[in-house]
Structure 1
Amino acid sequence: MSWEEKRKLERNAESVSSEMFAECQELLQMFGLPYIIAPMEAEAQCAYMEMIHLVDGVVTDDSDVFLFGARNVYKNIFDDRKYVETYFMKDIESELGLSRDKLIRMALLLGSDYTEGVR
Structure 2
Amino acid sequence: HSQTGMNPTIRTFLFRLARLARHPVQLIFCYDGDQRPNVKRGHRVSTKDHWMVQPTQRILNAFNMQWITAAGEAEAQLALMKNAGIIDAVMTDDSDAFVFGAQTVLRNSSFSADATATVKMYTTSSIQERVEPHLTIDGFMTMAVCCGGDYDNVS
Smaller-chain TM-score range? 0.7 to 0.9
Which is richer in strand? 2
- What does residue 74 of structure 1 align with? 106
Contact 1:57 1:74 (C-alpha < 8 Å) held by counterparts: yes
Which blocks of at least 5 consecutive residues in structure 1 are unaligned? none
Percent of aligned pairs sharing the same letter: 34
> Comparing both chains, which one has the higher relative contact order based on Cα–Cα distances under 8 Å and sequence gaps of 6 or more?
2
Moved more, 59-68 or 101-110: 101-110
The superposition leaves residues 9-32 of structure 1 with CA deviations (integer Å, 9 ceiling, x where unpaired) of: xx99xxx832x2101111112222
The superposition leaves residues 26-68 of structure 1 with CA deviations (integer Å, 9 ceiling, x where unpaired) of: 1112222221011211111111110111111010111111111
Moved more, 82-91 or 63-72: 82-91
Q: Distance in 2 between matches of 1:24 and 1:78?
A: 19
Contact 1:75 1:84 (C-alpha < 8 Å) held by counterparts: yes
Contact 1:92 1:99 (C-alpha < 8 Å) held by counterparts: no
For the aligned residue pairs, the C-alpha RMSD in angstroms reads 2.8
Paired residues in the alignment total 106
Which is richer in helix? 1
Q: TM-score, normalised by structure 1?
A: 0.73
Q: TM-score, normalised by structure 2?
A: 0.58
Verify: 1:103 aligned to 2:127, yes or no. Answer: no
Counterpart residue identity of residue 139, structure 2:
K
Q: Distance in 2 between matches of 1:30 and 1:83?
A: 25
Regions of 4+ moved over 4 Å: none
Q: Distance in 2 between matches of 1:57 and 1:44?
A: 13
